[in-house]
Amino acid sequence: MPKMKTKSGAAKRFIVRASGSIKRAQAFKRHILTKKTTKNKRQLRGTLTVSAADIKSVRAMLPNA
């Protein structure tokens, strides 16, 4: 039986915390920032937890985490 491989794209985007919850970054903060308001960009800072609906699929991409 071959080893389970981690999806490298998911490994760069998600971090599993010690409690088991998964940390992720905010979207929409990479480019085309000139048309976004300062308030909008400020509120996109920081990290969030992955929603309960998506945890199963994210865990499947990170089998060793």
pLDDT of residue 1 exceeding 90, the answer is no
Tokens of 2: 């071959």
- Give the number of other CB atoms < 10 A from CB of residue 36: 12
pLDDT of residue 50 exceeding 90, the answer is yes
What total number of domains does the chain contain? 1
Burial (CB count within 10 angstroms: exposed 0-12, middle 13-18, buried 19+), residue 48: exposed
| 25 within domain boundaries | yes
CA distance linking residue 11 with residue 8, whole number of Å: 5
Mean pLDDT (the chain) is 96
What CATH number did the domain enclosing 43 receive? 4.10.410.60
| 3 within domain boundaries | no
| 23 within domain boundaries | yes
User: What is the model's pLDDT at position 65?
Assistant: 84
Q: At 22, which amino acid appears?
A: I
Average pLDDT over every residue of 37-65: 96
| 1 within domain boundaries | no
Owning domain of residue 45: 8-61
| 2 within domain boundaries | no
Helix (H, G, I), strand (E, B) or coil at 49: strand
Mind listing the pLDDT tens digit for each residue in 14-44?
A: 999 999 999 999 999 999 999 999 999 999 9
Tokens of 32: 């085309």
